[in-house]
Amino acid sequence: MSSEERAKVWDEVIRYCENYLEFLEDAPAFSPFGDKGKSLLNSPISEKAISIQEALNILDVSVDHMGHNTAAPGFLSYIPISPVFPAILGDLLAAVTSRYAGHFHAGPGAVRMEDMVLNWMADLVGFPKGFAGNLTSGGSMANLSGIVCARTASKIKARDFERSVIYMTEHAHHCLDKSLRVAGLDECIVRRIPVDQSLRMDSNKLNEAILADKAESKLPMIIIATAGTTDSGSIDPLDQLAAVARRHNVWLHVDGAYGGLFSICAKGKQALKGIGESDSLALDPPKGLYVPWGCGAVLVREGRHLYDAFQGAGAYMNDVAAPGELLSPSDLSFELSKLSRGLKIWLPLKLFGTEPFAAAMDEKLLLARYAWDRLGEMPGFERGSVPDLSIVLFRYVPSTGTANELNEKLIEAMTADGRVHMSSTRIKGNVFLRLAILGYRTHQESVDLALNLLQEFAADLEGSSPLKV
């Protein structure tokens, strides 16, 4: 395309983006599924070219207004993702300039930027010099990288996997079960360590389990802790778990995909005490640093373990002998081809400075506490324990009828309304609802709206319950 042709396309794309960003300011959190994108197929991929207007129109009709609007203010389900504008531009610039960020020799600036961002994160969580890290495609990939690294560092061989033990709670993210399987560790024994009232791993029970396993000649291999579970935002007692891990010489992997980046604000740092004692840590910049989907981070305390797990080169890479200085991302991860992921983190941090990010995280912690307090004054609602971070767990207990059924209907009613979107989980067989407060457009109004709607719909449902006489 010539520069004149590009100018016209830019204009159209910018107009589309601006309209969309305006829409998001007070967008519903959920848009009806409509035809589920089937109208896309009315314009098959063929030899025929279409205009940018037509293409954007297809996006508008068939893609961008159905399902979850995760960046909308009322999106309070799962873990909300809402990228800030400079982060969006970071992805755009990375694609335009197409710097190769896999190898230092090919893109020294891009690799140094990734390194700089990783160093900044390591500093936030208190990792010492000598760590190594990698910007991955997401939180699941960061966790998988940590698990593969732990397996390599343990030096345990496949013939002993059947007597090797991995410890976690039932609240660990399901990507860790997947990671174990992909890492070839599904023959290991997995012990689900009991949790306390606040759904945090019981470190005494962990210690006892390891002692019992050692007495039976089993091989404790990895402890997997969570810094902010998806269910309830609970933080396992990281400092205590690190002490147990060190005592028994077992690798401690921490999944901090949702919670780890709360380290940026003082209250979060306090709640995450001990996170820097882990051997490997997964973070997820879209959650907390407001970058677009498709970016995770793994940090490994003793960097050589990450290198040992992933280093490799083919004969066709003869001409890329690194001039020293920095390790290449391709030697610290499974990936080779890689667009710069550092740019979408670096640009917002530089354009805004870190302060607004800390303030946003602080606000989310306050909002969660506010929601928890208000729930205590709402008749019929039962709360989980005080939130560790920004997820509030609760349910409605009806005067008659089954609570699970009513809470499922409550979620359906919220989804049908669409202004606020929430999701549920099960704790010991009981359906619990979650308010996950993280989006940067989510402020007190959205939390109030959610709580008011919950009260209204719960009252309606109780009134209409056929069991109620």
Q: What's the closest the beta carbon of residue 439 comes to ligand PLP, in angstroms? A: 14
Is residue 265 a contact residue for ligand PLP (CB under 6 A)? no
Find the part of the chain contacting ligand PLP (CB under 6 A) among 21-29, 186-194, 254-262, 376-384: 254-262
Give 286's Cβ-side CA count (13 Å radius).
21
Is residue 139 a contact residue for ligand PLP (CB under 6 A)? yes
**Smallest Cα–Cα separation from 388: which of 160, 231, 221, 276?**
231
Is residue 169 a contact residue for ligand PLP (CB under 6 A)? no
Find the part of the chain contacting ligand PLP (CB under 6 A) among 31-39, 132-140, 198-206, 378-386: 132-140
Is residue 284 a contact residue for ligand PLP (CB under 6 A)? yes
Q: What's the closest the beta carbon of residue 81 comes to ligand PLP, in angstroms? A: 9
Q: What's the closest the beta carbon of residue 315 comes to ligand PLP, in angstroms? A: 33
Q: Which residues in 193-202 are b (16+ Cβ under 10 Å) and which e?
A: bebeeebbbb
Crossing angle of the two packed helices 174-182 and 139-154, in degrees rounded to 10: 50
Query: Chain-centre distance of CA 268, in angstroms?
Result: 16
Is residue 175 a contact residue for ligand PLP (CB under 6 A)? yes
Give 373's Cβ-side CA count (13 Å radius).
7
Q: What's the closest the beta carbon of residue 459 comes to ligand PLP, in angstroms? A: 32
- Name the residue whose CB lies closest to ligand PLP: 139
Decide: 275 and 287 in contact? Cβ < 8 Å: no
Find the part of the chain contacting ligand PLP (CB under 6 A) among 39-47, 69-77, 250-258, 349-357: 250-258
Closer to ligand PLP at the Cβ: 132 or 235?
235
Joined together, the tokens standing for residue 162 give 């059947």
Closer to ligand PLP at the Cβ: 10 or 293?
293
Is residue 340 a contact residue for ligand PLP (CB under 6 A)? no
Alpha carbon distance 443, 95 (integer Å): 32
Decide: 140 and 296 in contact? Cβ < 8 Å: yes
Find the part of the chain contacting ligand PLP (CB under 6 A) among 103-111, 246-254, 255-263, 425-433: 255-263
Is residue 79 a contact residue for ligand PLP (CB under 6 A)? yes
Between CA 403 and CA 261, with CA 193 as vertex, the angle to 5 degrees is 85
Between CA 277 and CA 286, with CA 280 as vertex, the angle to 5 degrees is 105
Q: What's the closest the beta carbon of residue 285 comes to ligand PLP, in angstroms? A: 9
Is residue 173 a contact residue for ligand PLP (CB under 6 A)? yes
Decide: 173 and 329 in contact? Cβ < 8 Å: no
Is residue 272 a contact residue for ligand PLP (CB under 6 A)? no
- 420 CB-contact burial (10 Å; exposed 0-12 / middle 13-18 / buried 19+): buried
Is residue 230 a contact residue for ligand PLP (CB under 6 A)? yes
Q: What's the closest the beta carbon of residue 255 comes to ligand PLP, in angstroms? A: 5
Decide: 281 and 260 in contact? Cβ < 8 Å: yes
Alpha carbon distance 452, 378 (integer Å): 10
Q: Which of 257, 365, 411, 437 binds ligand PLP (CB under 6 A)?
A: 257
Alpha carbon distance 370, 364 (integer Å): 10
Closer to ligand PLP at the Cβ: 145 or 340?
145
Decide: 155 and 210 in contact? Cβ < 8 Å: no
Closer to ligand PLP at the Cβ: 70 or 328?
70
97: Cβ contacts below 8 Å, ≥ 6 apart: 340
Find the part of the chain contacting ligand PLP (CB under 6 A) among 138-146, 155-163, 238-246, 326-334: 138-146
Q: Which of 91, 255, 331, 388 binds ligand PLP (CB under 6 A)?
A: 255
Is residue 296 a contact residue for ligand PLP (CB under 6 A)? yes
Residue ranges in contact with ligand PLP by CB under 6 A: 79, 138-140, 143, 173, 175, 226, 230, 255, 257-258, 284, 296
